[in-house]
Structure 1
Amino acid sequence: MAPATKTAPQRTRQVGFSGLTVSRFGLGTMTWGRDTRAEDARGVLRGFVDAGGSLIDTAPAYARGDAERILGRLLRADVARSDLVIATKAGFVFRDGARTVDTSRHALLDDLRGSLERLGTDHVDLWQVHAWGHAPLEETLAALDFAVASGMARYVGLSNFVGWQTAASATWQRAVPGRAPLVSNQVEYSLLARRAEVEVLPALQHFGMGFFPWSPLGRGVLTGKYRTGVPRDSRGATRHFQWYVEPYLEPRSRAVVEAVARAADGLGITPLQVAYLWVRDAPGVTAPLLGVRTAAQLAPYLEAEEMTLPDEIARALDDVSGGPNEARDAS
């Protein structure tokens, strides 16, 4: 089998049809302040920026604001604000010790003001509605308009919106001149979760929006670490993430993992790199969000920056993980 092709990397990608550009891989911070210590986060962020990374994705709901607080401290001491494209979210709030979705104008803008305070900045580059909520859609989207008009956010987007929700939101914003256009959506996407290809990606393409896949390694399962059991130091072994990993430990997922491992053996790279490259260069993808916890975990992604999967391998993985990717076949 031929080795993975090395190419001169295009370091940035445009977010849909907007003027926003980001690195073609992003850094997720969901574990910061919980499973990722502040010192480890510092090493990850430094390595990320040194390698040309710019997009960092966070949220008030991550460790109840601690992820944003850690990032804010790093912005003051370690990394220049101008080096980063900061994306955060709003709409998940804690009430009576439980997390709930509230996409009302008050809740969203309260989240945003809190994010700016924790991050120590006067604006975020991308502000996203974290999930579809029960507030009237026009009220939710009016909060995005206000954030852009006031300068608190440069661009606005969505997170975890399915196809019809994405289309309804983008259509509403286009209906009246002067509303802030939606530039992106982020949903789960990997060789173990290809549902986005059915409606989300076609909607994003139609409206000229970017796509940020979260959990591109199948919640860590595509690394191959769970092939013989659940490692003690893995997310699957923790009480708060066990539920998150378990859905991908069933027989169908194991078959995909084995196919990824065979491809990696033939290409002379790791299963992690195979799975990551498949997502990074899939049709419609802007930048996968990487949930690494240490600088050592970041290293294999950086090594893969000058690689691409042979087309026949990408298509074979399409077949084994759910069938042909119609967008790839049309390209």
Structure 2
Amino acid sequence: MHFFARVFLPFLLFVYIAIETYLRLQHTSLCGEVGCALAGELLRFDHVYLNYFGLAGVFSLIIAGYLSRKIRFFDTLFFIMLYAGIAFEATIIGYQFIANPEPCLFCLSVFSSLLLIALFSQIRHFAVVLATVLFIFLGLNTLTIPKNRSFVTTPGLYLIQSETCSHCKRVKAYFSEHDIAYTPIASKEINARGFLKFVDIGTIPVLIIKEASSMTILKGDRKIIAYFDAQHKAEMVKDATESTPVQSSTLELSSDFLGAGGDAGCALTITETPSCADTNATPIPQHQGNR
């Protein structure tokens, strides 16, 4: 049991991480789930380096486990490295559960393998290991960690607002009165606050107008309402132009134009369409990522 728990099981884990590392270098993976791809976005560096770190750690665990059969020092070193690895993986998995819609299956597999090694290596201390993991998860859940997800996903209107803000209430009342559909985003959302801080906006309401190839940001109730008032007036002018007969000049063509005979020909009419009203909004080009 000693050899099985401290050498054989770590060796299987080493092989598993080695296969995943090789596949990563070939731009593929054993883990094809969304959580596995999102997990890499949480790292400060390329995720393959974390695999290298895992290989080095598990290899050291194998050596310490093998030598721990005869030397007391390596017995202590084995459990220090094992419990440190479990704590490290528990922190990563706990963060993924909070920040991502789903965790990385590869990380879960490594974490489960380490727990299995701890169980078979010294079952008496396994309850302490589980308690440590539990408190790591509880500690992470007390933090305000932004979710790794997007709010502005499809074309439309997105209003960053608060239920208690009087300026936000004015905009929402205007939208309700004019039947303007929008998606409300609470200003207390950590992602929304991070976005406002990133673009150096310190007040609400903020309206994001997402189109197919661009994005417009409007700040303040006056600018938001003025933007839609201008659009409404432009539509009224356009409707009036289309419904009112327009006096236009007629170009007289000769009787032999486009053929002989007494046909007077066709009148060519040119009508100018009124230009759209300018707004004080600043369009922000939307760059396409390789998502």
- TM tier, shorter chain? under 0.3
- Structure with a larger share of its residues in strand: 1
- Structure with a larger share of its residues in helix: 2
TM-score normalised to structure 2 length: 0.22
Bigger Rg over Cα:
2
